[in-house]
Structure 1
């Protein structure tokens, strides 16, 4: 043995991986450093500079409320948006992201009022603009906090210059948009039932309401028949005697209604029935109750509900005869409170209604037009007929803004002993209104039955307290008024929905159904913090349309903000020479959804770095009734189309058992905690690996699954970096590469299509699944495992080694850039480790794929090769388990082939190398009975023999067993291949 051999440490002669990229990520410590670096280099500005002149791709940010730390829903939402903007930026677009905040409305105003209450301070005693300043300051503070939290998630955007609905320019534009509705005649003052929060003293929009379980009092009420008009009933085939008998029976009966809102009975003005429902006249034959119907009473019910009603009242009913729709339509009823407090003397008509069913109740709907949308519509639709019958069609205001009965509810309002009854109190608790109504019904023998029902009931999503439907004057936008071009706001919106791409597609159906069914858009709120409904109107509600006045309003808002509307002398200032005319300054506040729904004007239209319409709006699925909805209506009302081309929605985050997260259950996942413990990239990996279109689950176990997946990805990246430490930039033509390298390039070409299509379709799980499977299964457990020998041991001149390094180079560049939109911190760390002179991976583009990489025929061949390999590796694993062998290099598998197609695929392939064994023999003899087989690969059987039994010796450098170890006298402990490598390294002075 020579001196060289004696002194040589073979491990130092190998091209072993070398990298400073650690296996342990340390994301919680490293990520803030990356954020600071991006801010210092102004990455956002660099992105804009690098993309100058490219086609714009704009995702318009739906603004969160600036009133608290971000929660897991914010994290999910912002990560999805960041992935979209980054992925388009890295595919040749100028993909701008401008974050925004919704700064007006109850979420912020409510916080200030809470502070006032804690200090014993009365909001109404504070000048309005002073109060508004406190709201503005509060919002500004949270914008800074949330902005920092979003950036800590890795989100890159124009955080130095976000859009704010409370900026003076935004407030001017919002007011200007409202004035467009006024000028086009779409804005009107009307009196309709609106969802009203007694606790917050304001009307609410659909998007401000959530449904919670609530226990309501239910009552069955008797409305006595007051009159019967025989002229409205066809009775030619009935004798006069029989008809008179029928008339007498009905005149002595009562129609029974059912309701879950007893407090609305004073507001009743009609009873609705359905011509499609079968009704009958019933007589009480027995009764077992403390109150209610007694034997001999005659009552009318839907036949399908008579038995259930009978049970509720503990009575026995006998059906006398059918009651036709004609007969019902000919009836007028008496109000059960007739005479109470000198009121309720009006007649109660029976009206046909499409909304009536016999699914529950009695088949009759108590109609209080001041307390329900369907009730209001039915009453208004019958207006002409009511007048013809001499019935007053006016709607009473029976409940005020505090939930108290008014003078329009005699016996329960101010004339009541002890003061007016109340529906809901300031704390959102039930008042005494239901009890007062029920007690009076019992007193008057008008109550048929009573009970309780637990059901879904609307609550304010801010105060979490139940709301009521209350008739009150508000400002509305017409949904169905013709706009001069043959369209209405509703028809425009429906057409815009058809023209929009929805991801997932079900969102289109959902939004369409909402637009089809929605009532006129109520814009007014009785609050202080927001953009006012900056119009002047006369006593009848006619809006002043004067371009000069409107321009003064917009100009003032641009210079001073909406506070100008509330400043002393504002009326005279804006009206100018018309100040002596009887115009009233409207002091209601605009629905906050109109604010955010107008954001496309002062963001997409007004910023030179944006464009209109946006390519994408992305928010939670609740925004079909929120931001998507209001943006659609605002834009269709002023521009005739939607402000977006695509709408993407995500679901909500549940705990691991699928339950809604709540502090009371203790099952919330706080994004700040996850970031602190594991890092933002772990949270981001969860986002992009989940089916975000549906509700997702998150908890300790889910996070651990993502931590494990991340570790595998990181280790794959780390191995590539270590291998590329030896990259000398050699280029081997594709056709001169070994087939295995050509196969990997083909797979990159296939993945390139998957990745780009996945990002286009916003299917991030499709992208991550493909990349994770490729990196873990095809690279770590296949290609890298096979090529470690060549990469570590082959000579510097080896084409195989050079080709493998070149392929790893391509793998790294593609994989790291493909992952960059999803894992920005990890990929930035890896990229700068590989390319220390680079500014950022996020300034890169996805690498192009040369046409000659794609090789479908080769891929088909290698499917067969891998089938054979799977049988070999299966046999090796079995021998390892028996401890017959340790390393697979100790084995020489004998592969018995009985499949011509599979064997043909092996031609020219070193199957020992592919199987990571020292040698491999293909045999055409019949396989022994104990040979290893896989059912899914017929025609292949494997017997594992040991290399040292074949007279092969172990190479001290590569650990392969060969028959030429010792053939080189200078390096007698290694194979000829390894000796050649050592000679080259020695000549290069590397050993």
Structure 2
């Protein structure tokens, strides 16, 4: 600028906004939270009339600790669903809830007792339960604040709690529906048992860790054969000398052995030892029966040097054999394993494999699910061997050798009182004792150690066992006499039909997972031997057997009294002395009945939540069904599963119409997070450094259907995406400064560039709504981010910057562009509000700062369908392709430092005649941000710049003739010829 040329900088309409470049989210987000609470945003949204309800039913987290990153992922996804559904016109309801009963909380209170040297069993049950209740209340308050800090909206002042009096009453009521419909029964079968916690566990309460187990190969001597059909292919005398070798990693279950299993599809042979090492427990001449595929490795384990295969043995022949228990005849065993009419049978089973072991599996029906199911199947054979009736056969096969604390019962010969698992979770002496006794009797063929995946209690982290114990079950294959037969007569039928016919699965693979689990699952074990939970509100008749028709008291009046008492006094009242007499007196003779004091599996609690949340609350659901359940993939065996079973038994169908599942959170390397590895990422850490919106953006950018990675570098990338988007919004706000409705231009009167932007908005509106409807948050954000970065920042804003800054207020182009900015504002803020809840509120308040203002109180605006213009879009695809060649040519000159700005250029663009006509209809120089441009359909000269994917376009670089305008910086021939010194005609007109 010459010394005598005026300074025009204050005449340019530069962006004006208080919206800062630096977000400062960690410091500012709490203010917006307080604002939303003051406004009562969630409740005000409920007051909008005429909307279709949408209910996301919250799967309750445990109230027992600070949130981890998995909690944050889950709650943020839920919030995105609720907010997007609301802003698309629904009445989207979200009632947060907490799981308050169960082992995790009870275990914490027991830990406090142990630290004080106290025994929980010596504490009054009601007093203990009240401590559990108080503990849960404390953590609910902590977690509520942590969830709210994530920007999650909902009825936080009135959540549902499974320990609320009404909830406990409904849970009991739902349980009693199973009591009344005949599906509840008491049975004795092996269940997953925690010796440390002295309770049965559900599969969902078990996790698998590496564990080193004892492994033994044990001889079961052939004791005889069925005399009706003596095997013909093997000499009978050799068979009587033979032993079947089994392999097991649970030696402690050998005292409870009741059979040996084999697989009819496996090839078996009879082997004779011809030479063995001196330290081998086997000698030359021993006859062994083994799976052929495993014979060599098994014999080598037993230090056998040489052997020969005598013959094969068929499945039919194996089935005829009966064996002696390894401890049969053991001195000091008091004949416990010496059976007069009973030999160990050899039973066919498909769970036996030839992957490892010997091809034979020792079977203890009291300590294994497969073992138990096999004996149920083989009850008839069992009864014949024992010479007893069928009804007694299975009961006699089951043992009660293991106490609740994981020790053998005191009167068990040889092993009485010895622990399998010690109270501290470590291995007891039982395994070693059994191995020593096997060696003493000569039954031990080989031994060793094996590191493998083994079930542990997810709370105590101690190994668990299968233990036969009386428990309460719901039969899932028994026809129910409840009149709800639309989807089947049994719980299993209803569940499978619901999965196939009634539920939408996101992702679709969730359907197969739950279907296979329900299809194969056994009866539901409801009972837990604990104190903190809703009790099994039932009474059994004294002296009656579980199979007797009057064993369980089924009395509607008794049930009603229980429900009423729970509503008024909580479930604690069940454990108050005299409650039985209070409830039964006047209806039945209390002295004839015993009260059950087991508590319900906590999964029954959470599985029942649909009843006291969706059905009973005014803000629940009119039909008692949820539009969506949303949890991690582990809930196929947890909450999705238990809710399905529970509702199919009480409602006749699934309680949900849709199920969405997400993956787990991993560190940046794909490793599972662990405090010991130091790779955990706490939500509060992210919030303190970046703000909750960055955590929310991490969720939105990720594919939640698989496991998600998070760490410092990933969060840095997320923060960078946020900054780029924030800058786009800041430009938009700055150039809307002072905009009023009077400035608006009708769409039909706008330049083509503006109408092309509106076309893109119409496309996006459909894509955003479809994406949100399908819970595709990643797809929604990617489309919006690409639009903001590519279509807006790199194209539209870049092109129109000159008009925003330098055109006069009455300029048609500038008014049209600012009208489009206003339209963009309302769509981008509402489209992004479900994801970036804090930032979009900040953007909204920059334009609408009123006390009652909030972006979260408005809907996504309807976008006129007529904005879609396919012909215009196709035309602008061609124009943008040509523009890309021009900008490429200019970049070459900029890199070579021939020009510093594209405004210094006036290139010649060689195109086809048709394209020349097309470019002539638009201000192409403005689109290319050059001072001038020559469009020619002449053949391009040698050396013109081109791009391979746009072969019909070539660009010849030329400097713009003229002088630089001191106001708009365009280089034009007319600069300096107007009233105002050093400016072009356009700027001179603006200056007046």
Same fold (TM over 0.5): yes
Residues 549 and 576 in structure 1, CA contact (< 8 A), matched pair in contact too? no
Find the aligned partners of 2:917 and 2:434 in 1 and give their Cα distance: 91
Residues 225 and 332 in structure 1, CA contact (< 8 A), matched pair in contact too? yes
1:174 corresponds to 2:171? yes
Find the aligned partners of 2:322 and 2:430 in 1 and give their Cα distance: 27
Deviation at 1:564, TM superposition (A): 0.7
Residues 418 and 428 in structure 2, CA contact (< 8 A), matched pair in contact too? yes
Deviation at 1:409, TM superposition (A): 4.1
Find the aligned partners of 1:901 and 1:524 in 2 and give their Cα distance: 80
Aligned with 1:946: secondary structure? Answer: coil
Runs of 5+ unmatched residues, structure 2 = 388-392
Residues 933 and 942 in structure 1, CA contact (< 8 A), matched pair in contact too? yes
Question: 1:36 aligns to what?
Answer: 34
Deviation at 1:922, TM superposition (A): 2.0
Deviations 1:889-915 (A, max 9, x none): 111112222x45544532312221111
Aligned with 1:465: secondary structure? Answer: coil
1:374 corresponds to 2:388? no
Question: 2:642 aligns to what?
Answer: 630
Question: 1:594 aligns to what?
Answer: 604
Deviations 1:191-222 (A, max 9, x none): 01000001111000011011111111111111
Question: 2:263 aligns to what?
Answer: 274
TM-score by length of 2: 0.95
Find the aligned partners of 1:863 and 1:311 in 2 and give their Cα distance: 75
What is the 5 A alignment of 1:634-653? Answer: 634-653=646-665
Question: 2:490 aligns to what?
Answer: 488
What is the 5 A alignment of 1:372-521? Answer: 372-390=368-386, 392-393=393-394, 394=396, 395-406=398-409, 409-413=412-416, 420-484=417-481, 485=485, 487-498=489-500, 499-521=502-524
Change (3 A) 1:581 1:904: farther
Aligned with 1:644: secondary structure? Answer: coil
1:318 corresponds to 2:305? no
Aligned with 2:215: secondary structure? Answer: strand
Change (3 A) 1:895 1:352: same
Over aligned residues, Cα RMSD in angstroms? 1.6
What is the 5 A alignment of 1:886-901? Answer: 886-897=900-911, 899-900=912-913
Stretch deviating more after TM superposition (938-947 or 16-25): 938-947
Find the aligned partners of 1:580 and 1:720 in 2 and give their Cα distance: 77
Find the aligned partners of 1:429 and 1:77 in 2 and give their Cα distance: 35
Find the aligned partners of 1:147 and 1:387 in 2 and give their Cα distance: 58
1:345 corresponds to 2:338? yes
Question: 1:674 aligns to what?
Answer: 686
Question: 2:991 aligns to what?
Answer: 982
Deviations 1:2-58 (A, max 9, x none): 9xx979542222221100111110101110001111111211111112x23311000
Change (3 A) 1:425 1:289: farther
Aligned with 1:422: secondary structure? Answer: coil
Find the aligned partners of 2:376 and 2:401 in 1 and give their Cα distance: 18
Question: 1:293 aligns to what?
Answer: 282
Find the aligned partners of 1:178 and 1:570 in 2 and give their Cα distance: 19
Question: 1:987 aligns to what?
Answer: none
Deviations 1:482-508 (A, max 9, x none): 224562111111111112111011111
Deviation at 1:407, TM superposition (A): 5.4
Question: 1:861 aligns to what?
Answer: 875
Residues 261 and 363 in structure 2, CA contact (< 8 A), matched pair in contact too? yes
Find the aligned partners of 2:918 and 2:112 in 1 and give their Cα distance: 77
Find the aligned partners of 2:906 and 2:299 in 1 and give their Cα distance: 87
Deviation at 1:91, TM superposition (A): 0.7
What is the 5 A alignment of 1:61-80? Answer: 61-80=58-77
Question: 1:718 aligns to what?
Answer: 730
Change (3 A) 1:216 1:900: farther
Residues 266 and 409 in structure 1, CA contact (< 8 A), matched pair in contact too? no
Deviation at 1:516, TM superposition (A): 1.1
* Equivalent of residue 528 in structure 1, options 511, 528, 531: 531
Question: 1:736 aligns to what?
Answer: 749
TM-score by length of 1: 0.95
Find the aligned partners of 2:907 and 2:425 in 1 and give their Cα distance: 78
Deviation at 1:661, TM superposition (A): 0.6
Find the aligned partners of 1:12 and 1:464 in 2 and give their Cα distance: 71
Deviations 1:683-704 (A, max 9, x none): 0000111011110000000000
Residues 15 and 726 in structure 1, CA contact (< 8 A), matched pair in contact too? no
Deviation at 1:925, TM superposition (A): 3.8
Find the aligned partners of 1:333 and 1:862 in 2 and give their Cα distance: 86
Deviation at 1:796, TM superposition (A): 2.0
Question: 1:101 aligns to what?
Answer: 98
Aligned with 2:228: secondary structure? Answer: helix
Deviation at 1:111, TM superposition (A): 0.9
Stretch deviating more after TM superposition (263-272 or 530-539): 530-539
Deviation at 1:648, TM superposition (A): 0.3
Question: 1:238 aligns to what?
Answer: none
Residues 862 and 905 in structure 1, CA contact (< 8 A), matched pair in contact too? no
Deviation at 1:740, TM superposition (A): 0.5
Residues 218 and 453 in structure 1, CA contact (< 8 A), matched pair in contact too? yes
Stretch deviating more after TM superposition (514-523 or 281-290): 281-290
Find the aligned partners of 1:705 and 1:192 in 2 and give their Cα distance: 54
Deviation at 1:561, TM superposition (A): 0.3
Residues 268 and 367 in structure 1, CA contact (< 8 A), matched pair in contact too? yes
Find the aligned partners of 2:913 and 2:593 in 1 and give their Cα distance: 95
Find the aligned partners of 1:362 and 1:900 in 2 and give their Cα distance: 83
Deviation at 1:234, TM superposition (A): 7.1
Question: 1:151 aligns to what?
Answer: 148
Residues 916 and 937 in structure 2, CA contact (< 8 A), matched pair in contact too? no
Deviations 1:420-441 (A, max 9, x none): 2211111111111111111111
1:811 corresponds to 2:850? no
Question: 1:620 aligns to what?
Answer: 632
Deviation at 1:117, TM superposition (A): 1.2
Stretch deviating more after TM superposition (373-382 or 121-130): 121-130
Residues 620 and 650 in structure 1, CA contact (< 8 A), matched pair in contact too? yes
Find the aligned partners of 2:35 and 2:438 in 1 and give their Cα distance: 73
Deviation at 1:233, TM superposition (A): 5.1
Deviations 1:101-137 (A, max 9, x none): 0000111111111111111122122111111111111
Aligned with 1:772: secondary structure? Answer: helix
Stretch deviating more after TM superposition (685-694 or 899-908): 899-908
Find the aligned partners of 1:289 and 1:558 in 2 and give their Cα distance: 74
Question: 1:10 aligns to what?
Answer: 8
Deviation at 1:628, TM superposition (A): 0.5
Residues 750 and 816 in structure 2, CA contact (< 8 A), matched pair in contact too? yes
Find the aligned partners of 2:150 and 2:96 in 1 and give their Cα distance: 14
Deviation at 1:526, TM superposition (A): 0.8
Question: 1:659 aligns to what?
Answer: 671
Deviations 1:772-800 (A, max 9, x none): 11111110111000001111111222111
Residues 502 and 646 in structure 1, CA contact (< 8 A), matched pair in contact too? yes
Change (3 A) 1:9 1:972: closer
Residues 594 and 634 in structure 1, CA contact (< 8 A), matched pair in contact too? yes
* Equivalent of residue 616 in structure 2, options 597, 606, 621: 606
Change (3 A) 1:720 1:823: same
Question: 1:986 aligns to what?
Answer: none
1:962 corresponds to 2:972? yes
